[in-house]
Structure 1
């Protein structure tokens, strides 16, 4: 079976079966494609031609955690914080739907519905299935949650969508499959999300939030509904998605909210009563409907009738909506041309498609989002940086766990370290899915909710560790218990600090070899290291600096790290560490003064020459000479901060908070520094800000390891810490950021591609989400920064990139969360300490993608490191296997192994993706052929079935609605070269024969 990946930036998915072998049970590959289907909606109410048809959409918006935890929201606990109980909403809605067959309701968050469904009787489940089959209860979006679009990585989004959609598919079949994506609350919208939705088979996408200036322009031009061309690499219409902007966010029109949480008067329709108000209600409604029709294109308009956690007493809503529909439609006998009906987003979309119009075309995204002149929602790109990193590393753990479950077979769930079951991996999947919510990884939740998200991730990984240990035991032939050191980022691992002999097990989840530096805390300086074949590995002991003040005070036994690097493919490598007496090599400890220059030694790729910035003692500059290209680059790096606005100024009272970034000046404050260089190259800006500049042998990237915190607030000012990279690159106000880790978009200072921006916040208004990388370039040079978590950043000055690292704020920004972003913990009562890494790559633009794309994947899917105390001892009748690879051969550089996971007992889900955009790389932006039968070392492919990206529809059953685009409305260039596959790397069935 040969699979040919024709398209750049495309994904291919398979389900496959294993053939029985002496050690492994059989599986089957299932190929998954991204495409949607044609559908009919027989349950939609009839509309009236020639009239203004008003589609009323009853709905509730149920955050999967925000002011309360997920559990508290479901059960209705802690109503002193917010009155909300999702289980009662679903109880009440189902009861009211049964009372009137005309009524409709849509539901979104599968995480909540799944819980409710499991608690229902068989009779109630059958009743709900009937409502779904009749189209009276419709699922929209259908993922486990409504994910954030700025701070999520595409791989985690695909996982959470797949889990939610699979449950709906398994439970309700075809009628439960959502046809419409529904992101009514996320704070800005990413192009990659639209691309994924298109590849998952959706025919339309509706959202509520966009920049106030953009909305105003679109209302005048009647362009609130459009065709979003969401990929520059895929041939239209593969990543085209019809997109609509809802008229009231996601709230009902003013004066028409009839929930128990609302204050609007009910419809009083007894004419004998003095407070009879039907005429007034009808008049006001007709006025609103006609006004809304002026800013939309067809004789169909949509009105969302519901809001946050509404319909707990659904009778209030439906009783008044029944009356509204009846009395407004009665006016048709008096010449009114307004027709009101219960509807759903898919029924509304169907009518727009029937209109057979052309629609404006959009090719960029909807970032940044502002709801007023000084209120840019760009702070959440960085809010809660520790949680953002924990979510990202948890995603890496999850992908590794899924791979090992497949490679290990049933024994992975039944091993000697505790009997696993079908829920072992499920807990990790659900925790990661919940973390994608737009008030989770975004950092816009209350502190106790953020703690709960982290707790769920930790609990999910604890369950996953059972599966990992079982699989490693089986694959290695050793029953030695596995130890997980989860605090290596702060150089804490009790085993390596106390044991005289230990083994390190390294699993690389990527389908290609990588050279990953391993840093371990050890107690002493005499270590000998060998790889899995017994060959000596170069290593170095680096003494820790007293500059790690807060870490040292909390962990007095903090040990110096041992550095070494092991190249390995998609495999497990085991290395032994006997303690021997050896000489050690240390970096020279020196002081750095204004006129001082020094160099790190040459090696295969780089030479670094450091000096202080000629204008001050506050920036460290490096001249980098690439030995292969013989090119020299200059950049300077410094850490600075903005003081956060407290709302006390003449322009606006808006404060900087969890959502909104608003500094009180356009010029960052330099953090004072002491001048010392210790070991690698260390910058100490203050006791709470430091940075290590590190260069590993044979690395094509420079590592900047930053540590920030506790951020001081003794001056009663919140602070937002940035890392700024200044270079000689002539960027001309242009820089580039990734979209959810996938394609890259061009950004321009003080500019929006589809509307004329009136800039009011020169810093916050030029910040964009950076999920994995950003870069600036000119004709000769490109400076790329790869991040280890989602962060916000921009290019405020030509030749400069700045990335926000940490935020500590003293005021709430009045967007609902109700508390300042002032993170502390039991360990860090004086304020959270955060550590992270940036990888810097400097190269000619023509070859830059060949470096930064693999780097970004390595940071997202980093090796899993486990330990065993002493030597590995073989299990009964087994020999120790010190190296194992799940692949027969390394995949081509352009191909990324996105998903390998158990689908059911005999089937495995496989996703491969072509990860290069069209024309991005001369070498790698080309079609690639993959032999599936010779891909895995332990699995034989018996058959392949092709599906869409989210694995809830067969590819050959998918036909999407066609939409016609207006000519001349696409404001960004689209490259249509070599685009024969769908956006996530599609393979045709014929190519597999």
Structure 2
């Protein structure tokens, strides 16, 4: 491969084709597309390479061993023939390559972009998963990638295509995001085999997808399902890793085969044309890490295209025209056809989950695989938003690269073999290393800004973020005195429960910013974390309520030792029958079983049981696939469980012990009774019997749910699910458990006519309602076998010499659907979900001096409950990236599900917004520059959006709307 790079550089040095085709080349975008023939069957040949940012190798291993050769080799090939095309997808890899090129090569690449030969599609940092990702992280990683492309290659490189060809099922929210990014189309390969068969029979492999039930036609996007995964047609892979018959066009050669190969290819194209609705078909020419020696493929494709010019092939009396193309050019050709023929594509309004590639093989295990990784990513996103908000208040006095390190690490984590947990273990370790380094870097940057705000000068208070607090370790709280700053990233005031490991079980005096004593509570740690290596772990956890934290602001709490006498531990007694909590929110524990028995909340008392159970795995269960042996799971505990009352000034609850596999605190907090918290730890899973285990937390109620339940789409809109049913195809229920599992990013809900019952999660998990009135969430899994989908390892994570333990939280919300007199229960759920996604971030330092400013609010006033600042971050000098979102859907709340207008002219404390330039969701182009294709049956329009007055500092939001701005600011 080094020879190809040398030849490329040598050709540039000689001045060969360094600025080709500029005089008569078409402009970029759709204008650069080859002309489709309305009277022919148009075969769009799309050369591509699918480059995972980690899977069987790490990101760096893939880049240095494969991807750098792919890009360099392709550039050489494109330079030699102006008809050739290629699409570049993952920006994380492109940045690694681009940063190593000289100006001559960069200019050559720019020319290829400008004439449409090299097209950027998707453009995100990675090709993200669509089940386990949260919409905030998806938007961020698209913003990161699109900006890099825009900054380095300009307008002609702006992607217009969503290229999600490898994720394992597809979410409606991804379609909505893609439309809001300004994309005209989405392409993917994986959908349920029955759905694909039906679509092939009905010629609906091209469709129109409505990505939102709230945004209407504005979220419509043309969607195309690839015919044969994303590989080259059978027999026509010409890459150096393939052994298919090459094309020989020398008629004197005894192996001459051009006419034969043209006929074979034409036969395949005739078959494909039977399954698509227009006179256009797209043919992917590529696969994983192809084109390392690009000329081998391009020379054969050149001959194939030449052959169709020499030997006319027909389909239904139409000439078959074969030419190099791109997904965007295919989109334009289909758009021209449906508009000229007034043809309505099939409209899709739900999603493409779950995905099965055959009988009994549902890809629903990865909804939970590597559960600790999924939570780690959520922590990374939480800190990233905090860091960006603090940096926005710093007026440039921060290191942008420190935060960019975390942006890129979180972007990589969205990859469909990262957050999914479907990578090899050494790759997972590399992801964790990247994320931990990124978090430490961003925490250092945020800590410095926070120090400046607190001290009023450049003093560094050396804040630590206590990233190991979940295993009861924090170096900064080992001393008798320390300082805690609690930062609230929400756009409204909130009260939060702060939990810290402490040592020596001494009494503390905690003083708030007004010098008042703060009540606190000492609990035993959920379990003994002494197995954790290289960390001093505590047996005691301190919790206190940080009340009325200001929006985008903080409060500082000062800790000191009150005396050396141990404070009494609130683990009071083992008791057979417990009623725990407060008048508004409480629960009861069964005397016979030790399990949860009933819940009272928001004026409703409901019988609710909760237990940890497990499915045993068939041999085909693995990182991707979930195949339980039985339909009824077994209990983790063999009999009644032990319960211990936990009560103090901050919370009331019980500690439940389910045996060696699981322990759990169930708690109600005195200062936040909007939910009941289930703080659990599960593992190590016992698979010494040779059988995999997949553990669920199951809630059972008497609600009559008639096979209906609801799950969120990437943390945003909620979709109705019907057990053993699909809206688009005839469903067979040979796998009644795995086939009814769906991704749960933030919540799962059941209801009857009057009562709504929801369980909210702190990470993405698989979940379902297998029986009426039940909710189950898979929290941990360990499998004995690889499931044969490519990763080549069984899923059995080890940590500290044993099976991994998973710690997490569920938040239960119950009430009448109409609400608690203030909000609907759906609105309460939205509030809790937001507060858990963007939890107040706790910074701790041993320093106690120079604390001059003990509280700060980034906003002069809280925003309304239905509005959140989704993004606030530095963009350029005196410019911030600023997103506002409406957080409720239509109809979720009588008062809050309404249009709302926010005046941002005098909103912020340290700066004022003077201009707002509205952009597309990814912030890579002004909104008035975004012209999308129109489709019959949709009101999406190709008319330009009316230019917004930059001096208009009011923003009006409809339910579920996100609006993105580049805000010019003046610092006070």
Structure 2-normalised TM-score?
A: 0.90
Q: 1:372 aligns with which of 348, 354, 358?
A: 358
Which residue is equivalent to 1:18?
none
> Using a 3 Å threshold, how does the CA distance of structure 1 residues 549 and 347 change in structure 2: closer, same or farther?
closer
Contact persistence 2:617–2:691 (CA under 8 A):
yes
Cα shift at 1:586: 4.7
Q: 1:957 aligns with which of 918, 929, 937?
A: 929
Whether 1:318 and 2:298 are equivalent positions in the alignment is yes
CA distance in 1, matches of 2:758, 2:184: 36
Please list, as runs of the form range in 1=range in 2, the aligned pairs for 1:599-748 lying within 5 A after superposition.
599-603=579-583, 605-612=584-591, 617=593, 620-626=595-601, 629-646=602-619, 655-673=620-638, 675-678=641-644, 679=646, 680-697=653-670, 698-748=672-722
CA distance in 2, matches of 1:888, 1:882: 17
Please provide the CA RMSD for this pair. 2.2
> Using a 3 Å threshold, how does the CA distance of structure 1 residues 964 and 537 change in structure 2: closer, same or farther?
same
Which residue is equivalent to 1:199?
180
Q: Single out whichever of 671-680 and 214-223 deviates more from structure 2.
A: 671-680
Q: Single out whichever of 480-489 and 240-249 deviates more from structure 2.
A: 480-489
> Using a 3 Å threshold, how does the CA distance of structure 1 residues 790 and 557 change in structure 2: closer, same or farther?
closer
Cα shift at 1:933: 1.2
Contact persistence 1:368–1:765 (CA under 8 A):
yes
Which residue is equivalent to 1:80?
none
Whether 1:382 and 2:371 are equivalent positions in the alignment is no
**3-state DSSP of counterpart to 2:30:** coil
Q: 1:400 aligns with which of 378, 382, 386?
A: 386
Contact persistence 2:604–2:814 (CA under 8 A):
no
Q: 1:283 aligns with which of 253, 263, 272?
A: 263
**3-state DSSP of counterpart to 2:703:** coil
Cα shift at 1:61: 0.4
Whether 1:443 and 2:424 are equivalent positions in the alignment is no
Whether 1:147 and 2:119 are equivalent positions in the alignment is no
Whether 1:456 and 2:434 are equivalent positions in the alignment is yes
Which residue is equivalent to 1:352?
334
CA distance in 1, matches of 2:345, 2:581: 59
Which residue is equivalent to 2:404?
426
Bigger strand fraction:
2
Cα shift at 1:544: 3.9
Contact persistence 1:590–1:676 (CA under 8 A):
no
Q: Which runs of 4+ in 1 moved over 4 A?
A: 333-336, 549-557, 581-586, 978-983
Contact persistence 1:897–1:913 (CA under 8 A):
yes
Contact persistence 2:483–2:558 (CA under 8 A):
yes
Which residue is equivalent to 1:299?
279
User: Which blocks of at least 5 consecutive residues in structure 1 are unaligned?
Assistant: 1-37, 77-84, 414-420, 647-654, 875-879, 968-977
**3-state DSSP of counterpart to 1:42:** helix
Q: 2:31 aligns with which of 42, 48, 52?
A: 42
Whether 1:256 and 2:256 are equivalent positions in the alignment is no
Q: Single out whichever of 843-852 and 139-148 deviates more from structure 2.
A: 843-852
Cα shift at 1:261: 1.1
Contact persistence 2:472–2:529 (CA under 8 A):
no
Which residue is equivalent to 2:538?
558
CA distance in 2, matches of 1:299, 1:530: 73
Which residue is equivalent to 1:391?
377
Contact persistence 1:513–1:569 (CA under 8 A):
yes
Contact persistence 1:981–1:987 (CA under 8 A):
no
Please list, as runs of the form range in 1=range in 2, the aligned pairs for 1:471-870 lying within 5 A after superposition.
471-477=449-455, 479=459, 480-496=461-477, 498-522=478-502, 523-544=504-525, 548=528, 551=531, 557-567=537-547, 568-570=549-551, 571-581=553-563, 584=567, 586-587=569-570, 589-592=572-575, 596-603=576-583, 605-612=584-591, 617=593, 620-626=595-601, 629-646=602-619, 655-673=620-638, 675-678=641-644, 679=646, 680-697=653-670, 698-825=672-799, 828-846=800-818, 847-870=824-847
Cα shift at 1:539: 1.3
CA distance in 1, matches of 2:512, 2:396: 29
CA distance in 2, matches of 1:482, 1:555: 18
Please list the CA deviations of residues 804-838 of structure 1 after superposition, one character each: whole Å capped at 9, or x if unmatched.
Answer: 0011111111101011111113xx21111110000
Which residue is equivalent to 1:887?
859
Contact persistence 1:591–1:675 (CA under 8 A):
no
Cα shift at 1:922: 1.2
CA distance in 2, matches of 1:135, 1:923: 49
Q: Single out whichever of 40-49 and 349-358 deviates more from structure 2.
A: 40-49
Contact persistence 1:182–1:207 (CA under 8 A):
yes
CA distance in 1, matches of 2:537, 2:146: 48
CA distance in 1, matches of 2:106, 2:932: 30
> Using a 3 Å threshold, how does the CA distance of structure 1 residues 249 and 53 change in structure 2: closer, same or farther?
same
Cα shift at 1:532: 1.2
Q: Single out whichever of 421-430 and 763-772 deviates more from structure 2.
A: 421-430
Cα shift at 1:591: 3.3
**3-state DSSP of counterpart to 2:669:** coil
Q: Single out whichever of 328-337 and 166-175 deviates more from structure 2.
A: 328-337
Which residue is equivalent to 2:951?
none
Cα shift at 1:585: 6.2
CA distance in 1, matches of 2:386, 2:62: 31
Cα shift at 1:601: 4.3
CA distance in 2, matches of 1:336, 1:231: 38
**3-state DSSP of counterpart to 1:896:** strand
CA distance in 2, matches of 1:286, 1:712: 55
Which residue is equivalent to 1:11?
none
Which gives a bigger RCO, structure 1 or 2 (Cα 8 Å, sep 6+)? 1
Contact persistence 1:729–1:782 (CA under 8 A):
no
Q: Single out whichever of 687-696 and 41-50 deviates more from structure 2.
A: 41-50
> Using a 3 Å threshold, how does the CA distance of structure 1 residues 937 and 553 change in structure 2: closer, same or farther?
closer
Which residue is equivalent to 2:163?
182
CA distance in 2, matches of 1:219, 1:247: 9
Which residue is equivalent to 1:81?
none
CA distance in 2, matches of 1:326, 1:631: 74
Contact persistence 1:517–1:564 (CA under 8 A):
yes
> Using a 3 Å threshold, how does the CA distance of structure 1 residues 585 and 569 change in structure 2: closer, same or farther?
farther
CA distance in 2, matches of 1:908, 1:554: 41
CA distance in 2, matches of 1:111, 1:94: 18
> Using a 3 Å threshold, how does the CA distance of structure 1 residues 980 and 433 change in structure 2: closer, same or farther?
closer
Q: 1:86 aligns with which of 59, 62, 67?
A: 67
Contact persistence 1:735–1:777 (CA under 8 A):
yes
> Using a 3 Å threshold, how does the CA distance of structure 1 residues 298 and 729 change in structure 2: closer, same or farther?
same
User: Which blocks of at least 5 consecutive residues in structure 2 are unaligned?
Assistant: 1-26, 647-652, 819-823, 940-954
Cα shift at 1:535: 1.5
**3-state DSSP of counterpart to 1:340:** strand
> Using a 3 Å threshold, how does the CA distance of structure 1 residues 691 and 987 change in structure 2: closer, same or farther?
closer
Cα shift at 1:533: 0.8
Contact persistence 1:540–1:585 (CA under 8 A):
no
Q: 2:909 aligns with which of 907, 932, 937?
A: 937
CA distance in 1, matches of 2:573, 2:440: 43
Cα shift at 1:625: 2.4
Cα shift at 1:48: 2.1
Whether 1:918 and 2:890 are equivalent positions in the alignment is yes
